[in-house]
Structure 1
């Protein structure tokens, strides 16, 4: 199993530590710098996120593909707002123009209020996962069908769909820890994406998703999202982690946002918040920001020297994690540091581990 690194293009050089600092929503200079830094740093892909008020992910990916030659793109995409046949052709076109450098991350959506901002009002979480299931069925059929096809389902009715353009190889990433999400992932996903939990919790979700994929006669890969905090010494790394927590706390208090008593709307965040029952889990899994934010999104990290964090990533690799989505709280500077100090180390350790396994 190879190891791949996925970076992040968040539209501007901003994160939870920057509080009320106003920056351009779409900072072209930052996007260009981040693309070049992550391509030069050995990242395999970058995630282009999706939000109900953010720049459009496919357009940013198309722009990025034109500025790079090797870097791949993981395009976050939400079912339900574009017809699946049209989305299939859009993604296939992007795949062709980028010469096979595109993957899609299907984001079903767990928060009712965010879905409502784009006009999706009144659907339940179970209905949204059922829609994602049907959407992905049509998406894959549009990518592969050699003759026109019809579809009659609960959410979509299609007559004589046919696409002249097909992707070369366009992986589908999918996340979510509810029973509905795991079932859809097992049926459709090439890579299951999850957040950074303890090793035991990660083993559990890997086992559950593999079983789901096996029920459909499929195999599946895994991606883990983390926010590494690295420094020359372990003491300096934990000091930096503590400073990040205090900055996030101060920014949330200044904005009138809660720092405790959270009730996340989705299963993934509830699981992550359970992981954050203490500031530090396993050897160096750090949950300080997850505690403050209610585990809203990718908010746990690994803390230590590059060598220590590389060893921690290797433990997840042994469980079956082949993709690591890593992003920092100082987005551009951290991406440069990961490419210089962390990614080469992990590749060396994985190669040594695989060589040892092959020889035994």
Structure 2
């Protein structure tokens, strides 16, 4: 019996109008995309028709951090978009196979309410929900009843307890806990319902959850932190990890490091998928692709350019510099998104960039890999990383929506299929089935020695 060929998994990482910071100004962009459900429906249906595994939206509990400069504030498109679980609940009703990944914070959310919402989405979608676990680097404590923004180590300590608690809540009803037997009059089997009685450092939760066990057992758990605490959390709890890498060597090192951690937690390498982002700029020729890239780069307003630089230099006064001066070294990473600042710092030192080159380098993909070229070159780049220990899947980051996704689906996906690297049809109706991930055993049932099938 032959072993099926390993194939790429694909996610569509959707920013409202596209990933480029100036995408909303592009002639092909849906400028009001962030609050236009018809727009999101179109791009999600495009991704499902192409047999993508999932769609993903990033999110912050208080919106995206605002620029301090008023002119930059009024030119930014990042302040108006749907709350992701609400959006995905609506779009789950007009799709049948594609998975929905929503971001939710362990720093500013409540475990019980989060577990309830994601369990509900999993039932609404027939088993297609996923939670992107974030600890929230930006200080948004001013909008919450919290005594200041926790330090990096404290956020991850809270996240460790938070994730375990959510997993327990999803398991607080075993499979078959609701027989709803009209003849006997038994609606719920109390032997299969469990209180947690959790009393930890950060949370005290009795349980059980008031939503039955999710269709997938647990919604797929995704994580995006690349710091040391983030890697530990991902190796212990995550099933996908979104990452940003610029070079094959860096991607291979990250892939190997995270995979080697799994046995310590009783896990195998195939239980965690490594998913780098890729920002593809397409053209019929290399020259056309470069022109397309330059077209959108030229839409960046100077106020936005300086805001990008100020953010990466963590508020440092850059008034003595011109955009054509060499970029000074970035300051040591503070509490704000350590892993991403490290990545950009490496980009500066490796490329010996000017300030102009720096903001242009991060204006589109924010540190993720940019590939500008023909459809064949985009496919080549993906194949190289996939076949050389750098990726199990890719998050496609269209520069402009909807065109960027339309072009990728029409021009790159057929090449991947011809090479046998991407599916023709879905493997099943749930996200876990399509990703090749096992449905988790209910931990309470396991303690009682009862299989999920009983």
Common fold, TM-score beyond 0.5?
yes
- In the TM superposition, residue 234 of structure 1 has moved relative to its aligned partner by 1.4
Q: Which runs of 5+ in 2 are unaligned?
A: 1-5, 64-80, 175-193, 311-322, 352-356, 423-454
| Equivalence for 1:106 | 133
What TM-score comes out, normalization by structure 1 length? Answer: 0.85
Distance 2:95 2:298 in 1: 37
2:381 aligned with 1:329: no
Equivalent residue, structure 1, for 2:110 = 83
- 1:266, distance to aligned residue in structure 2 (A): 1.9
Q: Which residue number in structure 1 is paired with residue 337 of structure 2?
A: 266
User: Is 1:244 paired with 2:296?
Assistant: yes
Alignment check: 8 A CA contact 1:12 1:27 kept: no
Compare the two structures and name the one with the higher strand fraction: 1
Give structure 1 stretches of 5+ with no counterpart. 281-286, 353-360
Specify which structure has the higher proportion of helix: 1
Other structure's SS at 2:412 match: helix
Deviates more, 1:220-229 or 1:66-75: 66-75
* Residues 140, 149 of structure 2: 8 Å contact kept: no
Matching residue of 1:29: 38
> In 1, Cα distance between the equivalents of 2:9 and 2:308?
38
1:134 aligns with 2:186: no
Answer whether contact 2:11 2:53 (CA < 8 A) is retained: yes
Worse overlay, 186-195 or 339-348: 339-348
Partner of 1:5: 10
Q: Who is 1:68 aligned against? A: 95
Q: Does 1:316 align with 2:385?
A: yes
Deviations 1:213-242 (A, max 9, x none): 222111321111121111111122123223
Residue deviations 1:37-63 (CA, integer Å, cap 9, x gap): 222233221112212224211001101
Task: Give the superposed CA RMSD.
Answer: 3.0
Distance in 2 of aligned mates of 1:336 and 1:183 = 36
Question: Per-residue CA shift, 1:251-304, capped at 9, x if unaligned?
Answer: 624879647666563222123214533898xxxxxx9656455x9846531121
Q: Supply the distance in 2 between the matched residues of 1:251 and 1:44 (Cα, whole angstroms).
A: 37
Number of aligned positions between the proteins: 345
Would you identify which runs of 4 or more consecutive aligned residues in structure 1 move more than 6 Å?
Answer: 19-22, 254-257
Counterpart Cα distance in 2 of 1:342 and 1:244: 21
Counterpart position of 2:199: 152
In our comparison, the structure showing a higher alpha carbon Rg is 2
In the alignment, is the contact (CA less than 8 A) between 1:227 and 1:326 conserved in 2? yes
Judge conservation of contact 1:273–1:290 (CA < 8 Å) in 2: no
Task: Tell me what 1:355 maps to.
Answer: none
Change (3 A) 1:102 1:154: same
Describe the SS at the equivalent of 2:418: helix
Q: Is the 8 A contact 2:133 2:223 kept in 1?
A: yes
Query: TM-score when scaled to structure 2?
Result: 0.68
Report the Cα distance in structure 2 between the residues aligned to 1:346 and 1:186, rounded to whole angstroms: 29
Residue 185, structure 1, aligned to residue 255, structure 2: no
